[in-house]
């Protein structure tokens, strides 16, 4: 054991290590939707503050949104038609519907104690 070995921990953290994503949110909507834009801003703030959270954003032009929202309604067995359509889960097939922007904002505010505009 060297004279200065106590200064250097044998378990130095790997600064290049990517944090494991334990929570995932998926935001889908059309580009010109104000609530879609708010949801993406909240997602950016959330991932900046909490590295274990991953957010995926899928943007569509308004003309494509009707068809995509129908697909999402079928996939999640609900009737949510508006933009954004937000769901959570990191494993395909085990994802669950969160709601629109208001539901997402309330969930993030409650879970992560962040100050977020609710509407």
Length of the chain: 119
- Residues 94-117 have a mean pLDDT of 94
Predicted confidence band of residue 112 (pLDDT cuts 50, 70, 90)? very high
Residue closest to 55 by CA, chosen among 87, 101, 84: 87
Closest CA to 58 of 66, 68, 46, 49: 68
Q: Is the pLDDT of residue 6 over 80?
A: no
Q: Do β-strands 96-99 and 85-88 pair in parallel, antiparallel, or remain unpaired?
A: antiparallel
Distance CA 80, CA 11 (A): 49
What Rg, from alpha-carbon coordinates, does the chain have?
A: 19
What is the pLDDT, as a whole number, of residue 80? 96
Tens digits of residue pLDDT in 55-91: 999 999 999 999 999 999 999 999 999 999 999 999 9
Q: Residues 11-33: pLDDT tens digits?
A: 555 555 555 768 999 999 999 99
Q: Helices 101-112 and 34-49, interaxial angle, to 10°? A: 20
Phi and psi torsions of 117, nearest 5°: -65, 130
């Amino acid at each position: 054991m060297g004279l200065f070995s106590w200064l250097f921990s044998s378990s130095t953290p790997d600064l290049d290590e990517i944090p494991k994503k334990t929570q995932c949110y998926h935001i889908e909507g059309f580009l010109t939707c104000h609530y879609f834009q708010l949801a993406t801003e909240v997602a950016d703030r959330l991932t900046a503050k909490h590295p274990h959270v991953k957010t995926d954003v899928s943007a569509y032009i308004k003309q494509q949104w009707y068809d995509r929202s129908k697909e999402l309604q079928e996939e999640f067995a609900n009737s949510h038609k508006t933009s954004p359509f937000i769901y959570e889960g990191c494993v395909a097939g085990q994802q669950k519907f969160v709601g629109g922007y208001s539901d997402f904002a309330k969930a993030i505010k409650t879970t992560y104690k962040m100050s977020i505009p609710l509407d």
